[in-house]
C-alpha cells in the first residue's frame, strides 16, 4: 500500500486564491507520487512534495514567504522518518531555497535542529546550495510588508485568519515506512528570531511507523502548546481512524488553547485523514489504485 497527502495551509483562503492553491497541491502530489510509484521511499516522497511547494510562490514556504518585521525572510522546516525515527530541522534560515532539503541533510547528521547562521554554514558543508536572501522575496510580500509598517504588531489568533500558507506532506511507501515533512516562512511581520511549530517534532510534524504520520499548519503559538502532531498520532496509536484522530486533535486545540489549525494524517494502513477549524485548508491526497483528490474544504470530499 502506498499513500501520500499534502497541504498548502489552513486559513480563510480567498476565492481568488483557490485555484492556485489547488494547482500547487496537485503538482506537489504528483512529484511525491512519482517517487512512491517507482518504489521510492516515503522520506524521498515527502521531500520532493515539499520542494515543489517551496518552489511555488503561492505558499508561505521557500520563495514567496512572508517577511519578518525588518523585511527579511526567515524559514523553518523539518522532516521525520517514521521507520528510524531520525529527524532533521532548521529554523530562521535566510539563504536556503529548499529548507526541507537542508532539514534532510540535518536528519542524516548527528543533530536534529540547527538554526540561523549555523544552519547556513552547515548547508555549505553538506553541499546544499545557498542563494541570496533576496532571491526568496517577491513583490507581493514586499507590498504586504510595506502595508504592515506602522500597524500594530502580530496580534495572535486573529492575525492567523488573514494568511498562513505553510506546506507539508505525509507519505506511506510500499515497504510500510511513513515519513512527514513541513516547511514555512512563519507569520507575516514576525519578530526576527521567532520560531513557530513547524520545525518542532511533535508540533509541526510527526511520523512513527508504529502509529502514523501528521503535518500541521496554523497558529504556531497554539499548536506548540498542545503538541498537535504528536497528539494526533497518539490518537492513531489508540486505534482511532485518521479522520477521527485529526478531528479530535483539532477539537482539543480549540477547546484547550482557543487555537486555530489544520492537519493532514496517514495511518500505518495508508488510511487518510484531515481536519481544520479554519474556514479552509488546501490539501490533496492519493492512495494506491485511486485517482488524486484535491480540496480546499473538507466538505468537498467528506
Ligand atoms: N504554523 C506556522 C507558524 O506558526 C504558520 C502556518 O502554518 O502558516 O509558523
Q: What is the pLDDT of residues 32-77, one digit of tens each?
A: 999 999 999 999 999 999 999 999 999 999 999 999 999 999 999 9
Q: What is the pLDDT of residues 166-214, one digit of tens each?
A: 999 999 999 999 999 999 999 999 999 999 999 999 999 999 999 999 9
Question: What mean pLDDT comes out for the span 84-112?
Answer: 98
pLDDT at 154: 59
C-alpha 169: how far from its chain's center?
Answer: 6
Look at 87 and 301; give whichever has higher pLDDT. Answer: 87
Question: What mean pLDDT comes out for the span 215-219?
Answer: 96
Tell me, in angstroms, the distance from the centre of ligand 1 to residue 151's CA: 20
Pocket test for ligand 1, best of 219, 227, 276 (most atoms within 8 A of CB): 219
Helix, strand or coil, per DSSP, at residue 205:
strand
What's the grid cell of residue 158?
A: 486573529
Q: Is 166 a catalytic residue?
A: yes
DSSP-H helix ranges across the chain: 15-37, 42-55, 99-107, 116-125, 139-148, 159-162, 220-226, 228-237, 242-257
Determine the Cα–Cα distance for residues 21 and 1; give it in Å rounded to an integer. Answer: 27
Spatial CA neighbour of 182 closest among 29, 27, 75, 24:
75
pLDDT at 152: 67
Mean pLDDT of the chain: 95
196 close to ligand 1 (CB < 6 Angstrom): yes
Helix, strand or coil, per DSSP, at residue 9:
strand
Q: Is the pLDDT of residue 160 over 70?
A: no
Q: Pick the catalytic residue from 2, 166, 217, 233.
A: 166
pLDDT at 229: 98
> Which ligand 1 atom is nearest residue 195's CA?
9
pLDDT at 302: 54
Looking at the DSSP bridge assignments, the partners of residue 11 are 280
Tell me, in angstroms, the distance from the centre of ligand 1 to residue 231's CA: 17
168 close to ligand 1 (CB < 6 Angstrom): no
Q: Is the pLDDT of residue 223 over 70?
A: yes
pLDDT at 300: 80
187 close to ligand 1 (CB < 6 Angstrom): yes
199 close to ligand 1 (CB < 6 Angstrom): no
pLDDT at 299: 76
Q: Is the pLDDT of residue 261 over 80?
A: yes
Cell numbers 515533512 label which residue?
181
Tell me, in angstroms, the distance from the centre of ligand 1 to residue 85's CA: 23
Q: Could you say which of 3.40.190.10, 3.60.20.30, 3.40.50.2300, 3.90.1150.10 is the CATH number of the domain covering 3-297?
A: 3.60.20.30
Q: Give the single-character DSSP code of 136.
A: G
What's the grid cell of residue 141?
A: 510580500
pLDDT at 150: 79
101 close to ligand 1 (CB < 6 Angstrom): no
Q: What is the pLDDT of residues 108-140, one digit of tens each?
A: 999 999 999 999 999 999 999 899 999 999 999
Q: Is the pLDDT of residue 266 over 60?
A: yes
Q: Give the single-character DSSP code of 71.
A: S
Domain residue extents for the chain: 3-297
Amino acid at each position: 500500500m502506498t499513500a501520500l497527502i499534502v497541504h498548502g495551509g489552513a486559513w480563510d483562503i480567498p476565492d481568488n486564491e483557490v485555484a492556485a492553491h489547488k494547482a500547487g497541491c496537485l503538482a506537489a502530489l504528483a512529484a511525491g507520487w512519482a517517487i512512491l510509484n517507482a518504489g521510492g521511499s516515503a522520506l524521498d516522497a515527502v521531500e520532493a512534495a515539499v520542494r515543489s511547494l517551496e518552489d511555488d510562490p503561492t505558499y508561505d514556504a521557500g520563495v514567496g514567504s512572508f517577511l519578518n518585521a525588518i523585511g527579511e525572510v526567515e524559514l523553518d522546516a523539518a522532516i521525520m522518518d517514521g521507520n528510524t525515527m531520525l529527524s532533521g530541522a532548521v529554523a530562521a534560515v535566510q539563504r536556503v531555497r529548499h529548507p526541507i532539503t537542508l532539514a534532510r541533510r540535518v536528519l542524516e547528521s548527528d543533530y536534529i535542529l540547527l538554526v540561523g547562521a549555523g544552519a547556513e554554514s552547515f548547508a555549505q558543508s553538506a553541499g546544499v546550495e545557498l542563494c541570496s536572501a533576496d532571491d526568496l522575496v517577491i513583490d507581493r510580500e514586499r507590498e504586504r510588508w510595506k502595508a504592515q509598517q506602522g500597524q500594530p504588531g502580530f496580534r495572535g489568533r486573529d492575525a492567523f485568519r488573514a494568511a498562513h500558507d505553510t506546506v507539508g506532506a505525509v507519505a506511506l511507501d510500499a515497504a510500510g515506512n511513513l515519513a512527514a515533512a513541513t516547511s514555512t516562512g512563519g507569520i507575516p511581520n514576525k519578530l526576527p528570531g521567532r520560531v513557530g511549530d513547524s520545525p518542532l517534532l511533535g508540533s509541526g510534524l510527526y511520523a512513527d511507523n508504529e502509529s502514523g504520520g501528521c503535518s500541521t499548519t496554523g497558529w504556531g503559538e497554539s499548536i506548540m502548546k498542545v503538541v498537535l502532531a504528536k497528539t494526533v498520532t497518539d490518537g492513531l496509536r489508540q486505534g482511532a481512524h485518521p479522520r477521527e484522530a485529526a478531528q479530535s486533535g483539532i477539537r482539543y486545540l480549540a477547546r484547550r488553547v482557543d487555537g486555530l489549525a489544520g492537519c493532514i494524517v496517514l495511518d500505518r494502513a495508508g488510511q487518510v485523514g484531515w481536519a481544520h477549524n479554519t474556514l479552509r485548508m488546501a490539501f490533496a491526497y492519493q492512495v494506491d489504485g485511486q485517482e488524486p483528490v484535491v480540496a480546499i474544504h473538507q466538505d468537498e470530499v467528506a
